[in-house]
A and B are shown apart, each in its own frame.
Chain A
Amino acid sequence: MNEKELAIAARIKEMLSENLRIPAEELDYDIPLFGDGIGLDSVDSLEIIACIDSEYGVAMTGVAKENFYNITSLTKYVVENM
């Protein structure tokens, strides 16, 4: 990741930790957020969408699931759609 991507990834991690009560130490950028990883669900994805929208103005409603796979994929989507 370049500097800009690293900054976005760090901010997304911070939001996940603060808003979804995931301990920061559990969150590296590649751990799967849904399913067997952190175990997020559809309500959590609404919160992620709302956070990314308010922070970056990027709308992720209806966006394909793979973009929510981990912090890296969320970061990539945000960078490409800012």
Chain B
Amino acid sequence: MSNNINARCVVTGLGMINAIGKNVDECWENALKGTPGIDKVRSVNSDACYAHLGAEVKDSDIEMNDKVDRVSMLCLQASKEALKDAGITDANVDADRMGVIMGSCVGGVVSIENYIEKGEKTEDINKMSIASIANHVANMAGAKGVVTNIGNACAASTMSVAYACELIRAGVGDVFIAGGADAFASVPFAGFTALHALSENACSPFNKSNGITLGEGAGAIIVESYEHALKRGAHIYCDVLSAGISSDAHHITAPRPDGIGQMYAIRRALDKSGVDKKDLDYINAHGTGTAKNDEAEFLSIHTIFDDNNDHLSVSSTKAMVGHCLGAAGAIEAVYAIKALTDNKVPPTIGYTAEDLEALKEKAGKIDFMPNDMKEKEMNYVMSNSFAFGGSNASIIFAKNEGKMSESETDEDIYITGLGIVTPVGNGVENYIEKVKNSEKISSNNLVSELGKEDFDKFDIKLAFYRKLDKLSTMQVVSGIEAINNSGFTFNDDNAEDFGMIIGTGDGPITTVYEFQDHISKEGTQNGSAFNFPNTVYNAAGGYLSIKTGMRGYNVTITNGNQSGLASICYAANEIKQNRTVAMLASGTDENSDVMNKLYTQLGLVGTSKSDLYADGNGMNLSDGSVTLALEKASQADSHNAKKYAKIAGYAMTHEGVEYGTVEGSDAGLLKAVEEACKDAGITADKIDAVFGFGNGIKEVDAIEKNVYAKVFGKEMPVINVKDYVGEARAAAAALSAAHAALTLSGELGDTQDAYFINGNNVRKDKVNTAGFNYVLATSYGVGGSYSAVVLARA
């Protein structure tokens, strides 16, 4: 077990599939040869579009599996290859300490298209979300550690590799399958068509730069603590050093022309990895082939390395495999690792003799690797990924042990601010009043409403908010309220020290569904340029960073309802590992006609208003956004912030069951509670109350009843926010922690309504909260993921 911020993390297995190969060897050999994978698209009808090219994986290269979306097929295939390559077996890994972090941009959007165009089949519903991807991989691998997905569009899977290493260094796992996947689909094709961002010819990064060519595929990397790899005698490819993650806070689709966000990510990765600028040997660039990306990345790379490095090679493998969106980071990380370990730099193809002359003028001393690979001895390589929402990620791989200089703080972390958007009204004061007056919901299918009053209150102008879909609007309002409530401020000099983790169960599925529905009716050529930016899961976090100017760590996670509590675990870790001094942690989910239709078809929505822990009538579908501001003690004290509660401990676990179900995953919750208490340094008997997740669905309620009886061995008071706001999914998970913090700080008075649960015996009564010292917030995700957070009186 590592638990050392600079502990060595090593790569012990690789897996990859893309347009030029079905495994790492094929993809690598073809990249070195400069084999183009770009051809006329087959899976999308582009007849009436101005561009027709794509880099699709041959169907014959894919292990077909009709139980999952194409994105999961790709991800499973790369993950299996990586596991085999690493020699991971049940016998040499402790399943509890193996996790899965996958990145994706559009997730199961092919299944959304299938649902709409092929008879609205129930079996397609659970394939739609990004959330399913890591669940399928975890089940295949038997992983029971931290399981989640990162939804930061085209930077998602660089972030997933970085997060896996952060978790190993935090001591919560030994082995992670990290990477990402995306499948070729109509939504991104139509969206980039509408934005006029597709190239009519094969994309030509750093050359003609007149647009992208979409691709598809998956990359999987086994990252492992060095000690663990050594102990089991694994083959080690290389070390993973530090990463830099930042947010542009500039524009929802375009990168900052001044490259500030990108340069922060690159410089941070170099600095914390202990790699001097002069020693970096190769960058696998983001290099999409759009003018805006290429100009910004050119500027960033030239600014940092000109005059500091006389041997840097830079290439974009997208010229061969296309832009694989959420898979791009993982695929390019695998290419960067292969380059490092084989001492061969893959080329950027597509340069004519004339182009080569033009390149000479703009390249300076940097070798942009036109057309041909070259052999050179390498020690340090970097992979860059930049995304919609202004997301930037840069990561460094080293042939040998590095000289990392990350640091940790042992300061306590406090909840210092709250922002609450719910169907029963917005704002912290409103929520406090509702709870104090025991005002429970009285109907099912609830929807939050935001209007001019909310926008005026937070100075959000029409020109800004009209761009946002409902999910993003809720997120921006709850985020700004949490910042104001906490009272922290930042300026241009320290905006990188403030970040956010957004958790969402269903993300922008409503917007994606509506976008797909429109192009199903009107044709791929008629996608909406206006709506497309909101189809990425990190749009909400992107808008919040643009509105607030927060330029630090910015990640959106998605793995069911518990994403809203896992966001707190993730955010606290970022503060603990000194990447930020303050973080927002959010849970946000949207209800809509689309979501109601899908959940109703799955049989999960109650036929009327349901009671919790009762007859299992189904959930009271709802929505909202809840944001918690977290700060380390010194930062909170610097502005005399109110401390609602201390984050005493947390844990994230997985007990894999079929995706879409929860029954049989009790052990996951049990372990989450035990581990969170252990992390807080207390025994379970110190917990005074639980802020639970039961939602009226029989199997979900049963898990809480069973597990609390086991852990606490007595009748336990359980307070449930869903009585007040409905099943707001990730928003309810974050609200559980917010409600717990309000309880500990005395804001909700001395008594509250609670369920007293002892196995199947459930009674309702008032609970005296005045003496509470430690409370526990819990949440679940379908497929068997759980998060638990212990809060202590501040």
Stretch at the interface among B63-71, B459-467, B732-740: B459-467
Stretch at the interface among A16-24, A64-72, A74-82: A16-24
A63 on the interface (CB 8 Å rule)? no
CB atoms of B526 and A43 under 8 A apart = no
Measured CB to CB, the nearest residue on chain B to A61 is B196
B528 on the interface (CB 8 Å rule)? yes
User: For A23, what are the chain B residues with a Cβ–Cβ distance below 8 Å?
Assistant: 462
User: For A7, what are the chain B residues with a Cβ–Cβ distance below 8 Å?
Assistant: none
CB atoms of A20 and B466 under 8 A apart = yes
B781 on the interface (CB 8 Å rule)? no
CB atoms of A46 and B466 under 8 A apart = no
Per-position binary interface string of chain B over residues 525-547, scored 1 when its CB falls under 8 Å from any chain A CB and 0 otherwise: 01011100100000000000000
CA gap between A46 and B254 in the complex, in Å: 14
A38 on the interface (CB 8 Å rule)? yes
CB atoms of B462 and A43 under 8 A apart = no
CB atoms of A46 and B462 under 8 A apart = no
CA gap between A47 and B196 in the complex, in Å: 11
User: For B528, what are the chain A residues with a Cβ–Cβ distance below 8 Å?
Assistant: 19, 47, 50
User: For A46, what are the chain B residues with a Cβ–Cβ distance below 8 Å?
Assistant: 194-196, 529-530
- A residues with a Cβ closer than 8 A to B are 19-23, 26, 38-40, 43-44, 46-47, 50, 54
Q: A38-B462, A39-B464, A43-B195 are in contact. List 6 more A-B contacts (CB 8 A).
A: A19-B528, A19-B530, A39-B461, A46-B194, A46-B196, A47-B529
Residues of B189-229 whose CB lies within 8 A of A: 194-196
User: For B196, what are the chain A residues with a Cβ–Cβ distance below 8 Å?
Assistant: 46
B253 on the interface (CB 8 Å rule)? yes
CB atoms of B526 and A50 under 8 A apart = yes
CA gap between A8 and B67 in the complex, in Å: 50
Measured CB to CB, the nearest residue on chain A to B468 is A21
CB atoms of A43 and B530 under 8 A apart = yes
User: For A44, what are the chain B residues with a Cβ–Cβ distance below 8 Å?
Assistant: 529-530
- B residues with a Cβ closer than 8 A to A are 194-196, 253, 461-464, 466-467, 526, 528-530, 533
The 3 closest A-B pairs by CB, nearest first: A39-B463, A46-B529, A21-B466
User: For A47, what are the chain B residues with a Cβ–Cβ distance below 8 Å?
Assistant: 194, 528-530
CA gap between A26 and B526 in the complex, in Å: 27
B interface: dominant SS = loop
CA gap between A54 and B41 in the complex, in Å: 24
User: For A19, what are the chain B residues with a Cβ–Cβ distance below 8 Å?
Assistant: 528, 530
CB atoms of A50 and B529 under 8 A apart = yes
User: For B462, what are the chain A residues with a Cβ–Cβ distance below 8 Å?
Assistant: 22-23, 26, 38-39
User: For B195, what are the chain A residues with a Cβ–Cβ distance below 8 Å?
Assistant: 43, 46
User: For B529, what are the chain A residues with a Cβ–Cβ distance below 8 Å?
Assistant: 43-44, 46-47, 50
CB atoms of A50 and B194 under 8 A apart = yes
CB atoms of B533 and A22 under 8 A apart = no
User: For A43, what are the chain B residues with a Cβ–Cβ distance below 8 Å?
Assistant: 195, 253, 529-530, 533
Measured CB to CB, the nearest residue on chain B to A44 is B530
Kindly provide the distance from the CB of B530 to the nearest chain A CB, expressed in whole angstroms. 4
CA gap between A20 and B196 in the complex, in Å: 18
Measured CB to CB, the nearest residue on chain B to A21 is B466
Measured CB to CB, the nearest residue on chain B to A45 is B529
Count chain A CB atoms within 10 A of each CB in B196, B466, B533 and give the residue with the most: B466
User: For A26, what are the chain B residues with a Cβ–Cβ distance below 8 Å?
Assistant: 462
CB atoms of B530 and A20 under 8 A apart = yes
Measured CB to CB, the nearest residue on chain B to A47 is B530
Measured CB to CB, the nearest residue on chain A to B452 is A23
Count chain B CB atoms within 10 A of each CB in A23, A38, A39, A43 and give the residue with the most: A43
User: For A39, what are the chain B residues with a Cβ–Cβ distance below 8 Å?
Assistant: 461-464
Kindly provide the distance from the CB of A18 to the nearest chain B CB, expressed in whole angstroms. 10
Kindly provide the distance from the CB of B464 to the nearest chain A CB, expressed in whole angstroms. 8
CA gap between A40 and B461 in the complex, in Å: 12
CA gap between A40 and B530 in the complex, in Å: 11
CA gap between A46 and B526 in the complex, in Å: 11
CA gap between A50 and B194 in the complex, in Å: 8
Measured CB to CB, the nearest residue on chain B to A46 is B529
User: For A50, what are the chain B residues with a Cβ–Cβ distance below 8 Å?
Assistant: 194, 526, 528-529
Kindly provide the distance from the CB of A59 to the nearest chain B CB, expressed in whole angstroms. 12
Contacts A43-B529, A44-B530, A50-B529 given; does A38 touch B463 at CB 8 Å: yes
Kindly provide the distance from the CB of A11 to the nearest chain B CB, expressed in whole angstroms. 17
Kindly provide the distance from the CB of B207 to the nearest chain A CB, expressed in whole angstroms. 23
In the complex, 5 of the A-B residue pairs with CB atoms within 8 angstroms, ordered by the A residue number, are: A20-B466, A38-B463, A40-B463, A46-B530, A50-B529
CA gap between A38 and B194 in the complex, in Å: 22
Kindly provide the distance from the CB of A34 to the nearest chain B CB, expressed in whole angstroms. 10
Kindly provide the distance from the CB of A10 to the nearest chain B CB, expressed in whole angstroms. 20
Measured CB to CB, the nearest residue on chain A to B532 is A43
User: For A40, what are the chain B residues with a Cβ–Cβ distance below 8 Å?
Assistant: 463
CA gap between A54 and B196 in the complex, in Å: 16
User: For B466, what are the chain A residues with a Cβ–Cβ distance below 8 Å?
Assistant: 20-22
Count chain A CB atoms within 10 A of each CB in B461, B529, B533 and give the residue with the most: B529
Kindly provide the distance from the CB of B766 to the nearest chain A CB, expressed in whole angstroms. 45
Measured CB to CB, the nearest residue on chain A to B466 is A21
User: For B526, what are the chain A residues with a Cβ–Cβ distance below 8 Å?
Assistant: 50, 54
User: For A38, what are the chain B residues with a Cβ–Cβ distance below 8 Å?
Assistant: 462-463
CA gap between A47 and B533 in the complex, in Å: 12
Kindly provide the distance from the CB of B704 to the nearest chain A CB, expressed in whole angstroms. 41
Measured CB to CB, the nearest residue on chain A to B464 is A39
CA gap between A26 and B464 in the complex, in Å: 14
User: For B194, what are the chain A residues with a Cβ–Cβ distance below 8 Å?
Assistant: 46-47, 50
Kindly provide the distance from the CB of B159 to the nearest chain A CB, expressed in whole angstroms. 25
CA gap between A46 and B533 in the complex, in Å: 13
Kindly provide the distance from the CB of B476 to the nearest chain A CB, expressed in whole angstroms. 14
CA gap between A39 and B463 in the complex, in Å: 5
User: For B253, what are the chain A residues with a Cβ–Cβ distance below 8 Å?
Assistant: 43
CA gap between A50 and B522 in the complex, in Å: 12
Kindly provide the distance from the CB of A36 to the nearest chain B CB, expressed in whole angstroms. 9
Kindly provide the distance from the CB of A43 to the nearest chain B CB, expressed in whole angstroms. 5
CA gap between A65 and B511 in the complex, in Å: 30
Kindly provide the distance from the CB of A9 to the nearest chain B CB, expressed in whole angstroms. 20
CA gap between A23 and B533 in the complex, in Å: 20
Measured CB to CB, the nearest residue on chain A to B528 is A47
Count chain A CB atoms within 10 A of each CB in B463, B464, B526, B533 and give the residue with the most: B463
Kindly provide the distance from the CB of B545 to the nearest chain A CB, expressed in whole angstroms. 17
Kindly provide the distance from the CB of A63 to the nearest chain B CB, expressed in whole angstroms. 14
CA gap between A47 and B526 in the complex, in Å: 10
Measured CB to CB, the nearest residue on chain B to A54 is B526
CA gap between A54 and B526 in the complex, in Å: 9
CA gap between A54 and B533 in the complex, in Å: 21
Kindly provide the distance from the CB of A8 to the nearest chain B CB, expressed in whole angstroms. 20
CA gap between A68 and B464 in the complex, in Å: 20
Measured CB to CB, the nearest residue on chain A to B197 is A46
CA gap between A54 and B522 in the complex, in Å: 10
